Amino acid sequence: MYDDHLESLIEMALVDGELTDKEKQVLFKKAESLGIDLDEFSMVLEAKLFKKIKDIELEKPKKIEKTTKSEKFGEIKKCPACGSMIQSVQTKCIDCGHEFSNIESNASINKLFEMLNDAENERKNEGISVSKVIGGIFANAYGLSNDKIDNKKKTIISNFPIPTTKNDIIEFLSLAAPKAKSIGNIFTKQQPENKAHNDFVNVWRTKCEQIVIKARFSMKDDKKTLDEINTYAKELKIK
């Protein structure tokens, strides 16, 4: 309905089924800059929020079956130190200052790269299968479903849940930032050794942008961490 950047902002703002005043301010400012009627935009935003809340409600039974821990990655609802209710994306309790850390979050970041490696192994296995049928010399001519495997890897990256703890956000950005920057120049970036990297730059950059935007909301009271995150944002030219 709207341009990709605005749609991405909306998606990130509504990911937890909540819409803060700050998030509304950012969204309406962006919509206004695009010349969108604000009354119409407000109506669309409310409809999207309503749908997101309904989707979350429908997912709750599935989540309860998977875990009984309220502090599970992406499911934090209560501060374990003082019991205050907090948003799932917050990295520090605003009442007592307790910082949230979760071993499962670290494991999930590692899981992302395991999933990408598994997808890459599918390409290798398919290559072996094709070469048995048509001979290795012709395998590359048939592409070995490069587009299919690459699209699968891009989907894995796009759908990876946004980290919720300070350490995991910084770790993710440190690993993803190099992958979100093109390599080579106008003459060399399409060379095979560079093209394989550059084809994934946009999806990595989009994921970094989503994380930066959400972190700016959840870490507005943690200046030191926010400065570190904004360093990555500047490096990737994320506004």
> How many Cα atoms sit within 13 Å of 43 on the Cβ side?
5
Give pLDDT, residue 108: 59
**Considering only CA atoms, which of 116, 88, 239 is closest in space to residue 175?**
116
Q: Tens of pLDDT along 102-160?
A: 444 455 577 888 888 888 888 777 655 544 444 444 444 444 446 788 899 999 998 88
Q: Please tell me the pTM assigned to this model.
A: 0.51
| Tokens encoding 26 | 């950012």
Residue ranges covered by each domain of the chain: 1-66, 67-235
Residue 231: pLDDT above 90? yes
Give pLDDT, residue 134: 45
Residue 83: pLDDT above 70? no
Confidence of residue 161 (pLDDT cuts 50, 70, 90): confident
| Tokens encoding 152 | 């699968």
Residue 226: partners with Cβ closer than 8 Å, 6 or more residues away: 215, 216, 219, 220
Question: If you search the block for the tokens 């060399």, which residue do you land on?
Answer: 188
From residue 209, give the alpha-carbon distance in Å to each of 11, 224, 236, 239.
12, 19, 9, 9
Give pLDDT, residue 179: 92
Q: Tens of pLDDT along 53-64?
A: 888 777 665 544
Q: Tens of pLDDT along 205-226?
A: 999 999 998 888 877 788 888 8
**CB 116: neighbour CB atoms within 10 A?**
17
